[in-house]
Amino acid sequence: MSGHDTGPFHNDRYEGPEKRPDCEGRGGRLGDPVGSATGCDDRCAVCRLKGHLSKVTRAFKMLSGYTQAVLRTTDETTLLNDACKIIVGHGGYMMAWVGYAVCDAEKSIRPVAAAGTGAERVAEIRLSWGENPLGQGPTGTAIRTGKPAVSRDIRTCPFFWPWRETAVKLGYVSAIALPLICDDTVIGALNVYSGDPEAFDDDEIGLLSEIASVMSFGIVSIRMRMERWRAQEELMRSWRILRVTLDGIVKAMATVTELRDPYTAGHQDRVGRLAQAIAEELGLSSHEVEGVGITGRVHDVGKVYVPIQILSKPAHLTPVEYSLVKVHSEAGYEVLKNIEFPWPVSKAVLQHHERMDGSGYPHGIRGPEILLEARIIAVADTVEAMSNDRPYRPAPGIDAALTEISEKAGKAYDREVVRACLSLLRDGRFSFK
Ligand SMILES: [Fe+2]
């Protein structure tokens, strides 16, 4: 009696002599010469040891070959085909194939991989894992019971009749099917054929069960990898959609602001570009650089709250009018604070007129109390504003702008931000054009 429970096939033993008088060493690679070439006693200790070593080597080759296949393969079908080739190549069997259980009315079995003699015929085989004549072979039994099923001589096995003729023509004599179990569910079977009726002894069943178990692990591993990859792809797709939406929101805000204040048309975009370049120059991460650019492109959105007559007044503003203009940074914060940007956009907009020495507005905060993003926008805003005409004055020009920020570096403006801005503009590495 086999030490492995092979279901109804445990009775399907080879009906020949009790045990062929082979040397125990024949457990090596199938097809190897039986016994010792030196004519030693079949049961000698050396032969037995050689046979055992040969089995271990073969098992190691199959398992290590399969492990390498799992590591290098990202596709399940390729992995299973590689496994079949390894079993035939290193295991010395005639043929190996893998079938998956299909949950259809016939409870059919779909071949997904095969290698060896007659592998091309596997697709033609009709099989089932149901309680019907096509489900009584080793494959159907292994899937149905979750246990290995062996047909030790398919020429006489009563359950093998639907496939006997083809199998005998191909030279198969014995067969084993081993369940592939993923997450406690039998998903299919690994099937192996041999030309030897004694091929599947207890040791061999143990080894092949181990291979089937490792194959199941490989299948789970690849499916998890694929699932992770699909989830990442979905996340990337959602992120791309979100970015397009965010870009649209930013553009819409900039357009609304500039429709009311045509004299500053393009101002926010130019401030955004310069601020982004300064952030890069300061060595900020690409994520932070992007956030600074977006903040620049919406930093004056609060001007929608400032009367148009004041925004377009072709003369200097009165103190009252100026106090109305100053509301725009807080108004911008109110507009933006409920949008979940992945950057502190609303807070930086609130602070973009704050100054390092506390002379700014709306709260007169100073130094490190002011976000770096707001300190960058402050410099970029000043340089851009002085480089272009305003309704109440002609442009002082870029040189005057650079003199202004140089003189106020460390006082009104962040010294490092000014240094980065001067470096960019003086070296010609940035242009508003
Ligand atoms: Fe502003």
If asked whether residues 272 and 202 sit together in one domain, one would say: no
**Of 299, 297, 294, 300, whose CA–CA distance to 270 is shortest?**
297
Do residue 69 and residue 171 come from a single domain?
yes
Among 229, 249, 280, give the residue marking a domain's end.
229
Domain-embedded: residue 236: no
Residue 395 lies in a domain: yes
Q: Are 153 and 41 in the same domain?
A: yes
- The residues placing their C-beta within 5 Å of ligand 1, an ion, are 300
Same-domain status, 217 and 299? no
Domain-embedded: residue 241 = no
Q: What percent of the chain has pLDDT over 70?
A: 88
Question: Cα separation of 57 and 90, whole Å?
Answer: 9
Candidates 385, 370, 422, 243; CA nearest to 300 is: 385
User: Residue 316: inside a domain, yes or no?
Assistant: yes
State whether 137 and 11 are in the same domain. yes
How many separate domains does the chain show?
Answer: 2
Of 334, 380, 388, 335, the residue nearest 353 (C-alpha): 380
Q: Are both 210 and 271 inside the same structural domain?
A: no
- Residues 205 and 268 placed together within one structural domain of the fold: no
Give 353 Cα–ligand 1 centroid separation in angstroms. 6
Residue 300 CA to ligand 1 center (angstroms) comes to 5
Say how many Å lie between the CA of residue 298 and the centre of ligand 1. 10
End-of-domain residue from the set 179, 209, 229: 229
CATH number at residue 198: 3.30.450.40
pTM of the model: 0.60
Same domain, 201 and 284: no
In a domain, 123, yes or no: yes
306 located within any domain: yes
Interval between CA 193 and ligand 1 midpoint (Å): 80
- The Å distance, Cα 378 to ligand 1 centre, comes to 8
Task: Indicate if 341 and 214 belong to the same structural domain.
Answer: no
Cα 351 to ligand 1 centroid, rounded to whole Å:
9
Task: Report d(CA 365, CA 369) in Å as an integer.
Answer: 6
Where residue 372 sits, what CATH number does that domain have? 1.10.3210.10
Q: Which of 209, 229, 249 is the last residue of a domain?
A: 229
3-state secondary structure of 172: coil
Examine the domain organization and report whether 416 and 311 are in the same domain: yes
CA of 420 to the centre of ligand 1 (A): 21
Q: What is the mean pLDDT of the chain?
A: 86
Residues 6+ apart with CB under 8 A from 49: 25
Mean pLDDT of 206-215: 89
Please tell me whether residues 187 and 276 are part of one structural domain: no
Tens of pLDDT, residues 35-56: 333 445 555 777 767 766 777 7
* Structural domain span for residue 206: 7-229
Query: How far is Cα 94 from Cα 431, in angstroms, rounded to an integer?
Result: 73
Q: Is the residue at 388 inside a domain?
A: yes
Residues 30, 92: contact at Cβ < 8 Å? yes
Candidate ranges 124-133, 204-213, 233-242, 274-283; pick with highest mean pLDDT: 274-283
Q: How far is the CA of 311 from the centre of ligand 1 (A)?
A: 12
Q: What spacing in Å lies between the alpha carbon of 223 and ligand 1's midpoint?
A: 53
Looking at residue 43, what is its pLDDT?
A: 59
Q: Is 248 a domain residue?
A: no
At 235-277, the pLDDT tens digits run: 999 999 988 988 898 889 888 888 887 766 789 999 999 999 9
Under 8 Å CB-to-CB from 50, ≥6 apart: which residues? Answer: 25, 28, 36
